[in-house]
Structure 1
Amino acid sequence: MSAASHTAPSTGLHRPTLSFWQIWNMSFGFLGIQFGFALQGGFMSRIFQTLGAEKDALPLLWIAAPLTGLLVQPIIGYLSDRTWHPRFGRRRPYFLIGAILSSFALLFMPYSSALWMAAGFLWILDASINISMEPFRALVADKLPAQQRSYGFVLQTLIIGIGTWVASTLPWLVAQFGVSNEAAPGVVPASVKLAFAIGAVVFLGSILVTVLTTSEYAPSQHAGEAVPSDKKHFVAEIIHDILHMPSQMLRIGAVQFFSWLAFFSMWSMATPALTEAVFKAPAPNPANFAMNVPEQAAQFNAANGAFQNAADLVGVYMGYYGLASMVIALLLSFYAARRPLNCRAVHFASLIAGGIGFLSMAFFSNPQWLVVSFCLVGVSWASILSMPYALLAGSVEPKKMGGYMGIFNMFIVIPQIVAATALGPTIRDVFGNQSIYAMVISGGSLMVGALLLAFVREAKAQTEGQS
């Protein structure tokens, strides 16, 4: 057990208190990152199903995303700790590189003509988003004094909520403006293509706002936190840091495991689960129709149109979890700006609320009640994106903040790998291929995560008063 598990490391550099707009600008790039994640999470399964994927194969098609994160995040964190450019700083070069690659993937993803192509673009997209995202968490710890970190992470969550809400409704919104939501078998509708193109523009533009408006501290200003020297090979050092991670990180990581297992299950299975169980409009399989017979072609087109419309509405309802997370983050930001948060208590209550939200989806036959379900899910989402990082930040050496944030994110990607490999067979073999049980698994998983918070202690830096 490292010493960092007992006391918060010395911060070295005296970090001045930042204004709302300074923190807003340094976090604004998360708007684009969340556009990418929301479009990926809300519509990749729809794209896969449009290209002919069976619903029990969907989680496995997603596996490239968490596998990429498992490799990319610790490496990017390690490298960003050791990067310094006089103009672009320490973290910002990674923001920009990731944004350019992500925008490319978003533009071309909906034009995939085969499952392997869509899965390949998902791999590129997720790797690129991780390049941008991981250093953002470290930037908050780099720039903010300890008493402002909860506020900084909550403000990031507010921006993430805005991005989730808007991006999740984009295909439905552009369809309302007359963009076609119908397409031939195996072709992604124009409404989805336009939504992904808008996401690409927003991603790059918002990252540029952060890059151009935010400065970083030079190594000479860090008083003992300068760019670490490379005495070890980076793989050996990453392995060393994993084996000697602070005990606080391990405890919070267990909570994160069940939290992200829940959300990966939602992202990969919400579209088949809700279109099937709530909207009664499952995705038709073209192989079951003789497309050269006019009557059967018409039946397929009607069923496919119903599925595409239902999938649009699933995206709209999923947007409510982004809207709810935005409201919760706004309330928490007002509170955290004036007094310290009890991060553990907030996180416990939020995970319980999200668990109830997921479980309730199995009992609703009226789609309108999904607003309530996803709002409860949004409460947990707001907390998952902020409270674990606030609990962790005071237990990590500042000079290794990027590397440890990357290692911590392994507790995000490992549960996704578990879900990607086990969720499909579980739904098929245990629950009779009824996809709605994926939402039940999500609810139970959040409840388990809430109970594991009993082993997490409140970080000292978060219980001190605001200065």
Structure 2
Amino acid sequence: MSAPSSLATKPRLSLAQIINMSVGFFGIQFAFGLQNANVSRIFQTLGASVESIPVLWIAAPITGLLIQPLIGHFSDKTWLGKWGRRRPYFMLGSIFAALALFIFPNVGGLWMAAIMLWMLDAAINVSMEPFRAFVGDMLPDSQRTTGFAMQSFFIGLGAVISSLLPYILTKLGVANEAAEGVIPDSIKISFVTGAVVFLTAIAYTVFTTKEYSPQQLKSFGEIDAINEVNIKTPAKKFYNKGIWWLVAGLVLSAILYYNNLNNEQPLEKELYILSLGIAAFGLFQILAGLLHRGNKSSGFVEIMDDLNFLPDTMKKLAVVQFFSWFALFAMWIYTTSALSQHLSGTTDPTSKAYNDMGNWVGVLFGAYNLFAAVLAFLLPVLAKKFSRPVTHMIALIAGGLGLISFYFIKNEDWLLLSMVGVGFAWSSILAMPYAMLTKSLPPQKMGVYMGIFNFFIVIPQILAATILGVLTKHMFGGNTIDTIVLGGVSLIVAALFTLRIKDK
């Protein structure tokens, strides 16, 4: 719906202002980079078996699944004077994340480390979720591609530096080994550094960027009232939908249980996360029906109602996100084993060849993040020349071909060329879907829909963690390079689905 001509036009921001509002993402990704690269190592140091690590990690995506819509909803409803709408959540999350980063490498038991992972991931999500809505709040549509591309740049930069930090500290003489059950000093100093960087980067954005007031947002035609409530789903529909999802989840769980009870080769237990997750969604729908009070319902009912009425563009982007993130998790999980088996001819994780390849994979992952940071500046240029969907399609095809090329490249050095394509795709995945999405969202619900959009990142992550092992073992005969190729094909499928999106 076009806005009346009497409404004010949201002003364009300078490049310096866009940089200021994006610096906080450097701190967020710095913390994520430290977490992703070192938490499994901490778990193993504290006595966790390799088989138990995925279970310890599963709390992280589930935490994001639950927290992001809640924080998005609350930030939509918040206005704290000069602190604004989104910035209070940036600061609150950064404070708790910094505390977790200080404590994490000093814990003495595995259970405490698992709690710290939950606290750290929850706090990072509190800071991160409103940042996507922040771009939608602050920038006119013509600048949102640039805004999200700037976030991609800082994400890539933060990932590269944080991933390399323990290695750099070791080269500077900091101990990288410790007694059994003790975290090395290189990890401890890295996490403390991460805490300082996180707080500093978030504080920089908070104190250099002023949000628009509710009165200004009203003048732009973006909101009517901060606390406006409009529940569209009748209580009966909540009940009916909830019962269907609950029954489906319970039936799938029963089938899985029966299969594993009577089969010598049971399926992975992580599949219960999917089946019980379906049942839990049904219970949430039923609970929303019980709490339904018309337009006086709770925030939980609002979120469930919003889930039932996703904008059309968001539905189409959800499919693109699903195949994109499924591919990314295939790459993150299996690259080391795939290249060790395919190029070095070993599957023994204790062998020198396997660990040498593991070190090279670290270089490759650092490379694609670096390429992503650089290629982020190409996205606005391509989007202006073609369109945002076409730009995203080109980037995803480049990433898909990059992953598929793993199968054909026989010299590990040439894999750096593959990482250019992967980096281009990664840069676009972090920017273009959000640039396309913000234009289709009701501005008064920007936060909650950005949180719900995170579902289509977390769900493929959980699915990848549960079915890729089955596919690799039973369909590919243990050849993990074929799993990487599957990831490449998945990116190309995602690219084809972008053709359904119209960038109005």
Gaps of 5+ in 1: 1-6, 285-302, 461-467
1:423 is the counterpart of 2:468? yes
**Alignment deviations for residues 12-44 of structure 1 (CA, whole Å, 9 cap, x no partner):** 653111000111101110001111222233333
> Is the Cα–Cα contact under 8 Å of residues 321 and 378 in structure 1 kept in the other structure?
yes
1:40 is the counterpart of 2:35? yes
Distance change in 2, residues 1:51/1:346 (3 Å)? farther
Gaps of 5+ in 2: 230-295
**For the residues of structure 1 that align with 2:48 and 2:490, how far apart are their CA atoms?**
26
> Is the Cα–Cα contact under 8 Å of residues 94 and 198 in structure 2 kept in the other structure?
yes
Deviation at 1:390, TM superposition (A): 1.1
Deviation at 1:232, TM superposition (A): 2.6
Residue in 2 that maps onto 1:199:
194
**Alignment deviations for residues 235-282 of structure 1 (CA, whole Å, 9 cap, x no partner):** 111111111111110000110011112223333444555566657695
Task: From 420, 427, 431, give the equivalent of 1:375.
Answer: 420
Q: Secondary structure at the match of 1:222?
A: helix
Task: From 296, 299, 312, give the equivalent of 1:234.
Answer: 299
**For the residues of structure 1 that align with 2:4 and 2:134, how far apart are their CA atoms?**
17
Residue in 2 that maps onto 1:190:
185
Q: Quick check: 33-42 or 375-384, which moved more?
A: 33-42
Report the AA paired with residue 249 of structure 1: M
**For the residues of structure 2 that align with 1:9 and 1:40, how far apart are their CA atoms?**
44
**For the residues of structure 2 that align with 1:366 and 1:127, how far apart are their CA atoms?**
41
Distance change in 2, residues 1:55/1:369 (3 Å)? farther
**For the residues of structure 2 that align with 1:434 and 1:185, how far apart are their CA atoms?**
34
Q: Quick check: 144-153 or 379-388, which moved more?
A: 144-153
Q: Secondary structure at the match of 2:502?
A: coil
Task: From 310, 317, 332, give the equivalent of 1:245.
Answer: 310
Distance change in 2, residues 1:209/1:67 (3 Å)? same
Report the AA paired with residue 124 of structure 2: I
Report the AA paired with residue 431 of structure 2: S
Distance change in 2, residues 1:66/1:39 (3 Å)? same
**For the residues of structure 2 that align with 1:340 and 1:139, how far apart are their CA atoms?**
26
Report the AA paired with residue 447 of structure 2: G
1:264 is the counterpart of 2:300? no
Deviation at 1:429, TM superposition (A): 4.8
Q: TM-score, normalised by structure 1?
A: 0.83
RMSD: 2.9
Distance change in 2, residues 1:50/1:268 (3 Å)? farther
Deviation at 1:55, TM superposition (A): 5.3
1:146 is the counterpart of 2:141? yes
**For the residues of structure 1 that align with 2:182 and 2:353, how far apart are their CA atoms?**
15
**Alignment deviations for residues 83-107 of structure 1 (CA, whole Å, 9 cap, x no partner):** 1111211000111111122222233
Q: TM-score, normalised by structure 2?
A: 0.77
1:314 is the counterpart of 2:379? no
Aligned residues: 432
1:71 is the counterpart of 2:66? yes
Distance change in 2, residues 1:172/1:31 (3 Å)? same
Q: Quick check: 198-207 or 12-21, which moved more?
A: 12-21
1:123 is the counterpart of 2:122? no
> Is the Cα–Cα contact under 8 Å of residues 43 and 315 in structure 1 kept in the other structure?
no
Deviation at 1:388, TM superposition (A): 0.5
Distance change in 2, residues 1:372/1:379 (3 Å)? same
Report the AA paired with residue 118 of structure 2: W
**For the residues of structure 2 that align with 1:210 and 1:171, how far apart are their CA atoms?**
26
**For the residues of structure 1 that align with 2:104 and 2:314, how far apart are their CA atoms?**
35
1:414 is the counterpart of 2:459? yes
Report the AA paired with residue 259 of structure 1: S
Q: Quick check: 206-215 or 180-189, which moved more?
A: 180-189
**For the residues of structure 1 that align with 2:83 and 2:90, how far apart are their CA atoms?**
10
Q: Percent identity?
A: 48
1:177 is the counterpart of 2:177? no
Q: Quick check: 122-131 or 24-33, which moved more?
A: 122-131
Residue in 2 that maps onto 1:457:
502
Residue in 2 that maps onto 1:291:
none
1:219 is the counterpart of 2:214? yes
1:393 is the counterpart of 2:447? no
Q: Quick check: 388-397 or 177-186, which moved more?
A: 177-186
Q: Quick check: 390-399 or 116-125, which moved more?
A: 116-125
Report the AA paired with residue 250 of structure 1: K
Q: Quick check: 401-410 or 350-359, which moved more?
A: 350-359
**How do 1:297-376 residues align onto structure 2 when only pairs under 5 Å count?**
311-333=358-380, 339=384, 342-364=387-409, 366-376=411-421
**For the residues of structure 1 that align with 2:483 and 2:57, how far apart are their CA atoms?**
15
Q: Secondary structure at the match of 1:18?
A: coil
Report the AA paired with residue 168 of structure 2: L
Q: Quick check: 115-124 or 30-39, which moved more?
A: 115-124
Distance change in 2, residues 1:416/1:72 (3 Å)? same
Q: Quick check: 167-176 or 422-431, which moved more?
A: 422-431
Report the AA paired with residue 446 of structure 1: L
Residue in 2 that maps onto 1:3:
none
Report the AA paired with residue 363 of structure 2: V
> Is the Cα–Cα contact under 8 Å of residues 320 and 495 in structure 2 kept in the other structure?
yes
Report the AA paired with residue 87 of structure 2: R
> Is the Cα–Cα contact under 8 Å of residues 379 and 391 in structure 2 kept in the other structure?
no
Deviation at 1:200, TM superposition (A): 2.0
Deviation at 1:420, TM superposition (A): 2.6
Q: Quick check: 382-391 or 429-438, which moved more?
A: 429-438
Distance change in 2, residues 1:123/1:351 (3 Å)? same
**For the residues of structure 2 that align with 1:183 and 1:355, how far apart are their CA atoms?**
41
Q: Quick check: 183-192 or 67-76, which moved more?
A: 183-192
Distance change in 2, residues 1:118/1:101 (3 Å)? same
**For the residues of structure 2 that align with 1:195 and 1:97, how far apart are their CA atoms?**
22
The structure having more radius of gyration, on CA atoms, is 2
**For the residues of structure 2 that align with 1:117 and 1:438, how far apart are their CA atoms?**
34
**For the residues of structure 1 that align with 2:30 and 2:184, how far apart are their CA atoms?**
19
Distance change in 2, residues 1:314/1:13 (3 Å)? farther
